Amino acid sequence: MSDKKGFLKRLDMFNGLSDEELSKVAELCTEVSYKAGDTILNIKDTADDFYLIRNGTVQIITNPDILETKPELADSVLVTLGEGQSFGEMGLVDRGARSATVRAASDTDVYVINCDKFLELCHQDTHLGFLVMRNIAADLSFKLRYRNLI
């Protein structure tokens, strides 16, 4: 099994996919590395890609301007995500602008998947599309509940 496919198999987003379906998704993955402090995406940017964290950590920041001028206001960091987690997947659902800035909190490697190419795959393989979108909906629901409990 390829490294990409083995990694994807461990992610909740791809629960229920067959080996063949995982291979299709793995073909869309591009490996990208970021250094600690690098901005990966900016709030209000177009949602062209989504990201799967291979290793390292990223910070989801809802008010990056305040954090730049007053680093002590760390509560602008909504959440820190690590290996096996994803971000940017809301772009698959609504293609709206980014709702947060994401920065690498440590040296981080990700797989990047283009939203248009992934949605094309979902249209071609509706079983794959249904399972992934259901899994994304469950994850987003969890994230919203967690955010509201803080």
pLDDT in tens, 95-131: 777 878 899 999 999 999 999 999 999 999 999 999 9
Q: Who's near 108: CB < 8 A, 6+ residues apart? A: 33, 34, 36, 40, 53, 54, 55, 56, 57, 58
Q: What pLDDT, on the 0 to 100 scale, is given for residue 77?
A: 65
Q: What pLDDT, on the 0 to 100 scale, is given for residue 149?
A: 47
pLDDT in tens, 47-80: 899 999 999 999 988 765 554 555 554 446 677 8
pTM of the model: 0.85
The C-alpha R_g of the chain, in whole angstroms, comes to: 15
Domains of the chain (ranges, CATH numbers)? 3-149 (2.60.120.10)
The two tokens of residue 35 are 């250094």
